[in-house]
Structure 1
Amino acid sequence: MAPNKNLNRREFLGSAATVAASISIVPSNVIAGLGKNLQITNDIEANNLLTREYRKGWEI
């Protein structure tokens, strides 16, 4: 989009939606972890999401 271009309604709403989405995606906390061990050190719930329990016969 050129800087001096007049925007029509569709372009304006598209840019406004993009700005609103980018503002709403700001994370509320920072995750710290150890990449070597695949562990998140400061959030137990997030750490639990890194692994899963497999059904019998589908274990790794």
Structure 2
Amino acid sequence: MSFHSSDSGSARPDAAAANEAIRMLVEAQAGGEWPAEEYEQLLAQWATAVSPDLAA
């Protein structure tokens, strides 16, 4: 997962990288057991990347 610095100096995940990680997870789990915790973590990273309010 790649990160970039925001104006406040904190590192935030890159939305495109988080989205790609979610896509890869979904494709890898097709027909198998669903890794709920990993999916939840990736969604949180994506939400932080796309919503500046969540990064604070």
TM-score (norm 1): 0.33
TM-score (norm 2): 0.35
Q: Whose radius of gyration is greater, 1 or 2? A: 1
Larger relative strand fraction: 2
Looking at both structures, which has the greater relative contact order when contacts are Cα pairs under 8 Å and sequence separation is at least 6? 2
Larger relative helix fraction: 2
